[in-house]
Structure 1
Amino acid sequence: MKIATINVNGIREAVERGFLDWLAGQDADVVCVQNLKAKSFELDDSILYPEGYEGYFLDAEEDGFSGVGLYCRKIPKAIMYGLGFPQCDNEGRFLQADYDRFSIASFLMPDGSDPTAKQDFMSQYQDYLGKMARKRREYIICGTWHVAHKTIDLANWADNQTTPGFKPEERAWMDQVFGPIGFIDTFREVNRDAGEYTWWPALDQHQPRSRQEGWRLDYQLVGPNLRRNVVDAWIDRDATFSEYAPLIVEYDLEL
């Protein structure tokens, strides 16, 4: 099974830059998208239902803001919209597809432009992650977490210790997610290299993405029971329809 996750940073703009062509060439079972910045009813059928996929979306209440989606080759048993707390659900930040053996979620953390709002979200989301970890069902949570966890996960880390996305309290929160709560960072299961980033400060389709300027803000998380099912993981730096790069993980699993 192959899962891709990508923060499109505006779905219509990403389509203009080649997102649908990229999607058609991936042969992915599920593609998780975040930061749509559009209401799903505003989108063309070519975006809602690309060939070979069923699209599912959770819109933010505010126009031009947030929103997440899932493109699924196999129709899920159920779709869960949101997590039950207003900051998440009203801002369109969590969408989950349930299959027989596991669930796959598309997730978007607040970016930290409002630090208090991000901390409030993280507190409530941590409670939910703890509940997920205690369930018998397995989860694959994909998306932009807006936190670079370790110094290896961003360039110029020494100059960014008070920057949103690398603050000590944010990194400590991720320590809890990957520690006592028990989730696994699938990318780091198979790739320990430095210079592996998913976001760069500015989109320039004509410049190679520098290993000296990026941040790794996007993750696919699984519980410990799926650790052994992670086969491979990579970042598609050649996809330039967003200032974020797709993170792709292959699992020894079937939908």
Structure 2
Amino acid sequence: MFKLTSLNLNGIRSAASKGVEAWIAKTTPDCICVQEVKAQAPDVEGRFEELAGLKGHFHFAQKKGYSGVAVYTRHAPSDVIVGFGSPEFDAEGRYVELRFDTPSRKFSVISCYFPSGSSGEERQQAKFRFLDEVDPYLASLKTEREFILCGDVNIAHGNADLKNWRSNQKNSGFLPEERAWMTKLLSETALVDVYRKLKPESTEECYTWWSNRGQAYAKNVGWRLDYHLATPAIAALARNEEIYKTEKFSDHAPITVEYEFGL
């Protein structure tokens, strides 16, 4: 089995102070994709190059304390791709891809952090630009190799993916244009939402993010923003999923899927 976790850390130093490394050691994933590292190379050196014996591969943002993604792995990749060729968004540290190629298979694990548009119209327009750029990139990548993209997509796709869907239809993360983009990704680009493949009917149990305002976490007023998006042949090998909520390492919960293959 190949065990793969995704988690938005909301700051690697903050998550580390809340016990995330001990949890990784206990759950023993093969890879963990993390987003919102909120650190630069000097912050990582000597402390976070590895977590629980897994080696990290990073894409840092140019802006200090902002964004940043990584994949931690127990298997040595055959190649590491940093960024997806977008000058605007590669500067924000949003994409890192580890390739595990063999003579019989080309396979990648991707950690990706989609922009949020919740801070205002300027960032919402940036989010739309990101969606416009990353979709054809993923469609092209799919013609070349199998992959699983893990990350904070910052979109709840369907009504079942957030608690208060009626009142959020004009809010970033649940806008009609964002949901339509996700529908297109799953239909025309033909990637698979692995969680929904395994749990097509789940509602309140599916949430992975909760606002820090009010008592959203205590009342489970959440959103499903964190995904495994896989090429169909890989998605067909997904067997088990878990959204871990016993401990809280950030404002997101880690989502883990086991796939029936090995690296």
Using the size of structure 2 for normalisation, the TM-score is 0.92
1:189-219 CA-to-partner distances (Å, cap 9, x unmatched) read: 1112111100000189x996433x0000000
CA contact (8 A) 2:161 2:223 kept: yes
% same residue: 37
Partner SS for 2:235: helix
1:147-194 CA-to-partner distances (Å, cap 9, x unmatched) read: 000000000100000110000000000001111110000101111211
Structure 1 counterpart of 2:158 = 150
Matched, 1:110 2:118: no
Structure 2 counterpart of 1:50 = 51
Structure 1 counterpart of 2:167 = 159
Which of 232, 235, 244 is equivalent to 2:240? 232
Partner SS for 1:139: strand
CA 1:237 to 1:51, structure 2 compared with 1: closer, same or farther past 3 Å? Answer: closer
Equivalents in 2 of 1:201, 1:40: separation in Å? 29
CA shift for structure 1 position 134: 2.0
* Larger CA deviation: 185-194 vs 140-149: 185-194
CA 1:203 to 1:254, structure 2 compared with 1: closer, same or farther past 3 Å? Answer: farther
Partner SS for 1:248: strand
CA shift for structure 1 position 43: 2.4
CA shift for structure 1 position 50: 2.4
Partner SS for 1:47: coil
- Structure 2: unaligned runs, 5 residues or longer: none
Structure 1 counterpart of 2:61 = 60
CA contact (8 A) 1:6 1:143 kept: yes
CA 1:247 to 1:240, structure 2 compared with 1: closer, same or farther past 3 Å? Answer: same
Matched, 1:202 2:202: no
CA 1:208 to 1:190, structure 2 compared with 1: closer, same or farther past 3 Å? Answer: same
1:227-247 CA-to-partner distances (Å, cap 9, x unmatched) read: 320111121112301010001
Structure 2 counterpart of 1:33 = 34
Partner SS for 2:223: coil
**Cα RMSD after superposing both structures:** 1.6
Counting matched residue pairs gives 252
Matched, 1:127 2:127: no
CA contact (8 A) 1:7 1:242 kept: yes
> Which residue identity lines up with residue 16 of structure 2 in the other structure?
V
CA shift for structure 1 position 226: 1.7
- Structure 1: unaligned runs, 5 residues or longer: none
CA 1:209 to 1:250, structure 2 compared with 1: closer, same or farther past 3 Å? Answer: farther
Matched, 1:223 2:223: no
Partner SS for 2:64: coil
Equivalents in 1 of 2:260, 2:42: separation in Å? 35
Structure 1 counterpart of 2:95 = 94
Equivalents in 1 of 2:45, 2:13: separation in Å? 9
Equivalents in 2 of 1:143, 1:80: separation in Å? 16
